[in-house]
Amino acid sequence: MRDAGRERLDLRRLGAVIFATGYRPDHSAWLHVPGACDALGFPVHDDGAARAADGLYFVGTHFLRTRKSSLLVGVGEDATLVAGRIAAARQAASSSSSSASGFPRAKKSQTSTTLPSGSST
């Protein structure tokens, strides 16, 4: 028995959408956002923030920031960083409308990251 499921969903009233994608890293098979994935299906991002779409973030993908990013032992560090970016974007959006989605675009030139205290890479 196969459930057809929904193919479209109005996201305007949702605060977050989380996809558990399993162990196959080809995000382009289900994420149909032009430029969001490279030729191998991996997300194109800056520290978890998608370059192609405002408000789209990734956590738990292979080598998101470190070798342990896709492991339980490492995903928490990335999740903390991405959650902080989302909170900052929401705060900035509440004080000014900087983009159509309400999220400012990720800085593409960012090369360093501040980890939470007690974290290591």
List the structure tokens of 100.
Answer: 């159509």
Domain boundaries, the chain: 27-95
Inter-CA distances, 42 with 5, 46, 82, 113, Å = 25, 13, 17, 21
What pLDDT, in 10s, does the model give residues 62-83?
888 888 888 888 888 888 989 8
List the structure tokens of 69.
Answer: 């990013």
List the structure tokens of 74.
Answer: 């490492």
The pTM is what? 0.62
**Residue type at 25 in one-letter notation:** P
Mean pLDDT of the chain: 75
